[in-house]
Amino acid sequence: MRKDDVFIAVEVSDAVASDPALGAKLDEVCPVGIFKGTDGGVDIVQENLDECVLCGLCYDAVPAGGVSVLKLYEDGVALR
């Protein structure tokens, strides 16, 4: 799943998007509320995307490749 705003795009792998435990973890660690844990996994909160502070906590919360934060102002360069 992917959502874009003006400056930031966030991608979540299918495995993470459908895992309620990982969704809850992303919801918990994100300081600006980009992720919303659900019973089915996780949703990306569109209106919060450009609030991303590039902290990387979402990367640490899920298995490698589970989340990508793309800087659209740098031609889609990934945070990591």
- Distance from C-alpha of 19 to C-alpha of 9, rounded to nearest angstrom: 21
Contact 72, 54 (CB under 8 A): no
- Distance from C-alpha of 27 to C-alpha of 43, rounded to nearest angstrom: 9
Contact 68, 4 (CB under 8 A): no
pLDDT at 75: 76
State the pTM of this model: 0.91
Give the tens place of pLDDT for each residue, 14-72: 999 999 999 999 999 999 999 999 999 999 999 999 999 999 999 999 999 999 999 99
Structural domains in the chain? 2-78 (3.30.70.20)
